[in-house]
């Protein structure tokens, strides 16, 4: 009799950063995972500097910190990029005139950001956006995945799949593989999304963007920095790194090879300077096509990362959005597989993450509107520039770009912390909340050690770490329930006498 194939709990298509991070989250929660990656070799020059540079947002850095791998992604390991210090107070003298990020190329500066407006932000290891490279991030995640027992098969392309009410059969690399669930983390041109019939809706591109590394005959002929011109935008960093945007309706992208003659022609057209390109070392193109799947789940098949949403790299948010998907999905899917999830938990993945994705897509569209080579866009840019230079403006843009404004709508709980990333409370013994999230469980932190609340401890051992400890700064709170992804599910305000009863109700419900 032929042996039945092993059925994995989860099959993941794609070992990019999102697939790898999701695999780690699922494995941490104790489920079996097989990752299928089409490329034989994870290495690529496009994942190294300069093109492989990625800005990690505060929610991403918090996620890495909460899993104990923040220092491994740290830039001290990546030569060629300046590592900003992670300080408890981004607003200090050394930060004066230090750029904090940009919106359509309009920079905001640290000295204008009023962090006192972030009432629930506590000093901790994560303060502001930090750059890394795709190569570093993927290598850290792949090493962690292997160490905790994730199986990764490289050189194995997912071609198609069929799902039943109990499992998914994936045809990949000439074999049929069985999983109880399939997650498509296979990038913008996702096979899983297409063969799963997911609706993908959005707006068509207005431009082709280029990132090129060239040798120019006279490197001083072009002005360095970012420039809006009558025909597009270019950004030049000596000696030969150029990003440029050609408003061609996205016509060039992936339709023809990127030749030296073409790059020279586009560069001359956009810059208005008769530069001569002597050599083309590296080149890639992208567009501002902004599309999103209308749902991230169909039966036993889910999408995460670029497979679920694509947009221009302006403002650098795609990777962060995808890693946020993985952090949100991992514990929910694992809990569903273990039979511990309350009704609707898995569907809250689409509800919560689709809303955040839609905001990011609109953020990228708004930047395109300012970049268009038109008189009205230049006027809009001038107004935005004025706003960005105000304290409230800089603070707003920092919140959006760094991701500190992210709040899920759970449809319950009116305390401003509910749905937000948990403040990194420092406990009486000097440990911090983030450290208790490393095992991938949620945390109940009760500052006053109310015994009725802790009575529930045994019931939730598998899913929550229960701690009774005072904290250094209470922020007007006396107990907090934090989900495994670090977001606040429930809070007891300090003056709320009825919170024990309310918490007990919450726990009974969650059970």
Q: Does 317 bind ligand FAD (CB under 6 A)?
A: yes
- Residue 284 beta carbon to ligand FAD: minimum distance, rounded to whole angstroms: 6
Q: Does 129 bind ligand FAD (CB under 6 A)?
A: no
Q: Does 241 bind ligand FAD (CB under 6 A)?
A: no
Q: Does 316 bind ligand FAD (CB under 6 A)?
A: yes
Name the residue among 463, 437, 452 with its Cα closest to residue 502. Answer: 452
- Residue 188 beta carbon to ligand FAD: minimum distance, rounded to whole angstroms: 6
- Residue 224 beta carbon to ligand FAD: minimum distance, rounded to whole angstroms: 19
d(CA 202, CA 308): 12
d(CA 501, CA 187): 46
- Residue 393 beta carbon to ligand FAD: minimum distance, rounded to whole angstroms: 22
Mark the segment that binds ligand FAD (CB under 6 A) among 317-325, 420-428, 433-441, 469-477.
317-325
The tokens describing 475, both together, are: 């922020």
Enumerate the β-bridge partners of residue 464. Answer: 442
d(CA 88, CA 84): 12
Enumerate the β-bridge partners of residue 282. Answer: 213
Q: Of residues 153-192, which lie at the interface with ligand FAD (CB under 6 A)?
A: 157-158, 185-187, 191
* Site string (53-92) toward ligand FAD, x via CB under 6 A: -xx-------------------------------------
Q: Does 50 bind ligand FAD (CB under 6 A)?
A: no
Q: Tell me which residue has its CB nearest to ligand FAD.
A: 16
- Residue 17 beta carbon to ligand FAD: minimum distance, rounded to whole angstroms: 5
- Residue 302 beta carbon to ligand FAD: minimum distance, rounded to whole angstroms: 13
d(CA 371, CA 288): 11
Q: Of residues 368-387, which lie at the interface with ligand FAD (CB under 6 A)?
A: none
- Residue 322 beta carbon to ligand FAD: minimum distance, rounded to whole angstroms: 4
DSSP notation for 368-437: HHHHSSSHHHHHHHHHHHHHHTSHHHHHHHHHHHHTTT-B---SS--STTTTBBPP-PBBTTS-BHHHHT
Options 306, 424, 426, 446; binder of ligand FAD; rule CB under 6 A: 306
Cβ neighbours, 10 Å, residue 269: 15
Name the residue among 478, 403, 471 with its Cα closest to residue 118. Answer: 403
Q: Does 319 bind ligand FAD (CB under 6 A)?
A: yes
d(CA 387, CA 397): 10
Q: Does 322 bind ligand FAD (CB under 6 A)?
A: yes
CB crowding 80-93: b at 16 or more within 10 Å, else e:
ebeebebeeebbee
Mark the segment that binds ligand FAD (CB under 6 A) among 15-23, 111-119, 269-277, 455-463.
15-23
Name the residue among 485, 465, 489 with its Cα closest to residue 415. Answer: 489
- Residue 498 beta carbon to ligand FAD: minimum distance, rounded to whole angstroms: 42
Q: Does 38 bind ligand FAD (CB under 6 A)?
A: yes
Under the rule (CB under 6 A), what is the footprint of ligand FAD? Answer: 13-19, 36-39, 51, 54-55, 157-158, 185-187, 191, 211, 286, 305-306, 313, 316-320, 322
């Amino acid at each position: 009799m032929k042996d039945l194939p092993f059925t994995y709990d989860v099959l993941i298509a794609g070992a990019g950063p999102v697939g790898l991070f999701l695999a780690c989250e699922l494995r941490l929660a104790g489920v079996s995972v097989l990752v299928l990656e089409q490329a034989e070799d994870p290495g690529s020059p496009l994942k190294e500097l300069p093109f492989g540079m990625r800005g990690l947002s505060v929610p991403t850095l918090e996620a890495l910190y909460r899993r104990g791998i923040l220092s491994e992604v740290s830039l001290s390991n990546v030569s060629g990029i300046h590592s900003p210090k992670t300080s408890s107070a981004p607003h200090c003298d050394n930060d004066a005139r230090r750029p904090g990020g940009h919106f359509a190329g309009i920079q905001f500066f640290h000295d204008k950001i009023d962090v006192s407006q972030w009432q629930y932000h506590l000093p901790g290891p994560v303060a502001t956006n930090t750059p890394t490279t795709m190569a570093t991030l993927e290598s850290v995640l792949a090493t962690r995945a292997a160490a905790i027992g994730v199986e990764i098969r490289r050189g194995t392309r997912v071609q198609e799949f069929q799902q039943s009410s109990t499992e998914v059969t994936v045809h990949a690399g000439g074999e049929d593989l069985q999983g109880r669930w399939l997650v498509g983390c296979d990038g913008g041109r996702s096979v899983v999304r297409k063969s799963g019939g997911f609706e993908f809706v959005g707006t068509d591109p207005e431009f082709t963007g280029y990132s090129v590394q060239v040798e120019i005959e006279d490197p001083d002929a072009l002005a360095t920095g970012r420039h809006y011109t009558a025909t597009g935008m270019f950004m030049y960093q000596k000696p030969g790194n150029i990003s440029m945007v050609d408003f061609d309706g996205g016509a060039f992208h992936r339709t023809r090879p990127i030749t030296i003659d073409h790059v020279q022609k586009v560069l001359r057209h956009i810059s208005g300077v008769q530069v001569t390109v002597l050599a083309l070392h590296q080149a890639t193109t992208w567009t501002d096509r902004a599309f999103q799947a209308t749902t991230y789940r169909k039966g036993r098949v889910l999408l995460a990362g670029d497979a679920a949403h694509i947009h221009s790299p302006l403002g650098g948010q795609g990777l962060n959005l995808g890693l946020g998907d993985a952090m949100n999905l991992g514990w929910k899917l694992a809990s569903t597989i273990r039979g511990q999830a309350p009704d609707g938990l898995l569907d809250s993945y689409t509800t919560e993450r689709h809303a955040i994705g839609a905001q990011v897509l609109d953020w990228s569209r708004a930047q395109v509107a300012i970049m268009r080579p038109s008189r009205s866009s230049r006027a809009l840019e001038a107004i935005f520039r004025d706003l960005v230079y105000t304290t409230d403006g800089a603070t707003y843009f920092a919140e959006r770009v760094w991701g500190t404004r992210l709040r899920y709508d759970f449809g319950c709980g009116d305390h401003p912390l509910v749905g937000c990333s948990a403040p990194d409370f420092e406990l009486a013994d000097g440990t911090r909340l983030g450290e208790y999230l490393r095992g991938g469980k949620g945390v109940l932190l009760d500052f006053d050690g109310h015994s009725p609340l802790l009575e529930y401890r045994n019931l939730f051992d598998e899913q929550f770490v229960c701690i009774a400890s005072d904290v250094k700064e209470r922020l007007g709170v006396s107990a907090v329930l934090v989900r495994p992804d670090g977001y606040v599910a429930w809070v007891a305000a300090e003056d709320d006498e009825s919170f024990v009863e309310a918490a007990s109700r919450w726990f009974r419900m969650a059970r």
